[in-house]
Amino acid sequence: MNDLNILLAGFGGQGILFTGKVIAYAGLMEGKEVSWLPSYGPEMRGGTANCSVCLSENKIGSPLVTNPDVLVAMNLPSLEKFENDVVPGGIIIVDSSIIAKKVQRTDVKTIYIPASEIAEENGIKGAANMVILGKLFKETCFCSEENLDKGLQKTIPPKKMDLLDKNRLCIKLGREN
C-alpha cells in the first residue's frame, strides 16, 4: 500500500469516529504515517459526522481528505454529499441496510453491504461500523490482520473491553460478506 485516504461518513452515534480511530491506530502499528481528523455537527448523536483518515509511507501534508480513495457512506446524506469527491478508480462502501439509492458513478468500485442487518442478525445491534470495517479491510488490506486487532484493542476504552469479542466478530462478518 502506498497512500490511502479514507473518508468515513454517517450520523453521529454510528461509530464513524471510533472506526476512524481503529484504522488510524492499526496504521500506526503498521509503521505508517497517520492522520485522523474528525468532523461533526454540534448535535453529535443523530447529527452528521465524518472522519478523514490518511495512511501513508511518507509525511502527510494535510489531514483533510477532500478526494478520498475510499468513501464509507453509512447514511444517504453522506453518500449524496461525498459520492462525487471519490477519486476515479476509488471505492465506495455503502451500508445497503440504510441506503437504498445506488451509486451513479461507473468509474469507481461500489460495494453494497447490509452492515446494519448483519450486525443485528448476529445480536450486535449498533455495530454496523465494525462490519463495514471488516469489508474495508478485505478490500484494501490497509494493514495486517494482527495490527487491525491491535488497533481495535487500543481504541476500545477499558470500561467497554467486554465488547472486544463482539467487535471482532463483526469485523469477521464484514470480511466474509
Ordered by start, the domain boundaries in the chain are 4-176
This prediction has a pTM of 0.94
Q: What pLDDT digit, counting tens, does each position of 103-118 carry?
A: 999 999 999 999 999 9
Q: What pLDDT digit, counting tens, does each position of 50-85 carry?
A: 999 999 999 999 899 999 999 999 999 999 999 999
Q: Residues 6 or more apart from 116 whose CB is under 8 A from it?
A: 95, 97, 98, 128, 131
**Number of helices and strands in the chain (H, E):** 6, 6
Q: What pLDDT was estimated at residue 2? A: 74
What's 4-176's CATH class? alpha beta
- Per-residue pLDDT averaged across 23-27, rounded? 98
Q: Residues 6 or more apart from 77 whose CB is under 8 A from it?
A: 48
